[in-house]
Amino acid sequence: YGTQKVNEKGHLVIGGTDAVDLAHVYGTPLVVYDTALFRKRAAGFQETFKKMGIQAQVAYASKAFSSIAIYELAAQEGLSLDVVSGGELFTAAKADFPRERIHFHGNNKSYMELNYAFDEKIGCIVVDNFLELSMVKEIAATRRQQMKVLLRVTPGVEAHTHEFITTGQEDSKFGFDLKNGQADKAFGLAYDAPYLQLLGLHCHIGSQIFETDAFTHAAEALMEKMQVWKESYSFVCTVLNLGGGFGIRYTEEDHPLEPAQYVAEMAEVVLELSKSWNYPLPEIWIEPGRSLVGDAGTTLYTAGSEKEVPGVRTYIAVDGGMSDNIRPALYNANYTAAVANRMTAPHDTTVTIAGKCCESGDKLIVDAKLANVTEGDILAVFCTGAYTYSMAGNYNRFPRPAVIFAEEGQHQLVIRRETYEDITRLDLSLQQKVRKES
């Protein structure tokens, strides 16, 4: 099947381990990360910058999958970290992630979250709006504590992806508008703030983007603004953060470039413009999420009930669904799947893989091509490493799956499966049983 590895038993192999064995050892649904692939992707980005002679930080956008173990792995690989909440920052602190390499994002960071970032002495706050800018200034001044900041701007670039996941167009809730004076005003406010060290600009134009032009136009737009500020105020940005959003291949219809190729194209624009404008080459930071973890993850399910709608379709239900992967229901996202215990059997039967949530829309793959599935088969849905576990919920009070890392035949549990006790741990009983007066 496709590019997947298969062993002599005809079983899917992930990270050198037999996926069917993993399903039996850890149970299903199970998310398996091939950590070698994560390392390879990380190195791909880092080497691209090295080859081009550009100082860079590659920050893992951890909203794609946040856990202590993935933060430890990211730290091992020399990545920086993008966190978007107090919760992600707390997780990073638990993983003892190097604080100076943590960047804090979000369009409505609370006073408490910002203070927490100062407590942790993180590397940089990416300031999104005027309220946040005034809070960061005040906190820094009150504490007499330095903080590095980037200003997040919206470059007005339209990228063709799902409307819910584009962020760089003008009508966006994120960032200071680059064209209508907001960014200039924010610059003025941040520039002379005593305890703030303004490093430069940030943008992120959206996610799962395939068009190189969208990225290069954004890079150009930011460079132009930087050049204006250099000429008008002699201010030189030392950092240019170009965000993430590099598209990956979910199905055969997707034809992205190698993730690092998008980065190379953007970096080329920065190199050229800085040369022709005599602008000191800034450090380039990027924030890939999906392209680091997406194809490294596979979800294993056990096939259960089957329903045929004669002449229409056959549903095969699995023991998970939109509770562990909401992307098909939310974005019409497409995936491919295979029967992990019969990989070499022809995958030419069309079935719809349904979840077990009480929702008609809970379908993981419509018209999947599979080998004949019988109850108890292990189904593998590929490319589920990004925005699946991190967006998982307890709808219908289904426990969230376990997550494991596999590499070179070794495997380890990194998030244990939720139990019914976990699910009810926040519930409180009525203080007084309400009784009807007799």
245 annotated as belonging to a binding site for a ligand: yes
Is 288 a binding residue for ligand LLP by CB under 6 A? The answer is yes
Among 65, 116, 387, 398, binds ligand LLP (CB under 6 A): 387
Cα–Cα distance measured from residue 433 to residue 233, given in angstroms and rounded to the nearest whole number: 68
Q: Which residues contact 259 (CB under 8 A, 6 or more apart)?
A: 41, 44, 45, 246, 248, 288, 291
Piece in contact with ligand LLP (CB under 6 A), picked from 35-43, 58-66, 364-372, 428-436: 58-66
Q: How far is CA 404 from CA 130, 299, 410, in A?
A: 41, 10, 10
What are the tokens at 231?
């000429």
Which C-beta is closer to ligand LLP: that of 65 or that of 405?
Answer: 65
Is 287 a binding residue for ligand LLP by CB under 6 A? The answer is yes
Cis peptide before 328 (omega within 30 of 0): no
CB of 105 to ligand LLP, least distance (A): 5
Which C-beta is closer to ligand LLP: that of 22 or that of 136?
Answer: 136
Which C-beta is closer to ligand LLP: that of 1 or that of 176?
Answer: 176
Other beta carbons within 10 Å of 34: 22
Among 208, 227, 341, 352, binds ligand LLP (CB under 6 A): 208
Among 11, 41, 109, 290, binds ligand LLP (CB under 6 A): 290
Q: 379 — phi, psi (to 5°)? A: -100, 135
Which C-beta is closer to ligand LLP: that of 148 or that of 411?
Answer: 148
Among 57, 207, 298, 384, binds ligand LLP (CB under 6 A): 207
Please work out the total of residues on this chain that contact ligand LLP, with binding judged by CB under 6 A: 23
3 state SS of 420? helix
Among 123, 168, 289, 385, binds ligand LLP (CB under 6 A): 289
Among 274, 291, 299, 325, binds ligand LLP (CB under 6 A): 291
224-243: contacts with ligand LLP (CB under 6 A): 243
DSSP letters for 360-379: TT-EEEEEEEESPP-TTPEE
Q: Which of 203, 357, 358, 383 is catalytic?
A: 358
DSSP 295: T
CB of 64 to ligand LLP, least distance (A): 5
Question: Does residue 358 have an active-site annotation?
Answer: yes
Piece in contact with ligand LLP (CB under 6 A), picked from 10-18, 115-123, 210-218, 287-295: 287-295
Other beta carbons within 10 Å of 248: 21
Contact present, 74 and 81 (Cβ < 8 Å): yes
Cα–Cα distance measured from residue 437 to residue 130, given in angstroms and rounded to the nearest whole number: 56
Cα–Cα distance measured from residue 106 to residue 204, given in angstroms and rounded to the nearest whole number: 12
Q: Are strands 102-104 and 80-83 parallel, antiparallel or unpaired?
A: parallel
Helix residue spans in 144-258 (DSSP H): 182-191, 212-233
Cα–Cα distance measured from residue 131 to residue 358, given in angstroms and rounded to the nearest whole number: 41
CB of 66 to ligand LLP, least distance (A): 12
327 annotated as belonging to a binding site for a ligand: yes
Is 400 a binding residue for ligand LLP by CB under 6 A? The answer is no
Contact present, 320 and 354 (Cβ < 8 Å): no
Q: 314 — phi, psi (to 5°)? A: -115, 130
Which C-beta is closer to ligand LLP: that of 82 or that of 295?
Answer: 82
Q: 432 — phi, psi (to 5°)? A: -125, 130
Residue 194 amino acid letter? P
CB of 243 to ligand LLP, least distance (A): 5
Cis peptide before 401 (omega within 30 of 0): no
CB of 387 to ligand LLP, least distance (A): 3
Q: Which residues contact 147 (CB under 8 A, 6 or more apart)?
A: 117, 118, 124, 125, 136, 139, 140, 195, 196, 197
288 annotated as belonging to a binding site for a ligand: yes
Q: Which x/- pattern over 156-195 shows residues binding ligand LLP (rule: CB under 6 A)?
A: ---------x-x----------------------------
CB of 164 to ligand LLP, least distance (A): 7
Element (H, E) at 341: none
CB of 80 to ligand LLP, least distance (A): 12
Which C-beta is closer to ligand LLP: that of 207 or that of 216?
Answer: 207
Contact present, 223 and 279 (Cβ < 8 Å): yes
7-46: contacts with ligand LLP (CB under 6 A): none
103-142: contacts with ligand LLP (CB under 6 A): 105
Cite the active site residues: 358
Contacts with ligand LLP by CB under 6 A lie at: 61, 63-64, 82, 105, 165, 167, 204, 207-208, 243-246, 287-291, 327, 331, 386-387
Residues making up the annotated binding site for pyridoxal 5'-phosphate are: 245, 287-290, 387
Residues making up the annotated binding site for substrate are: 290, 327, 331, 359, 387
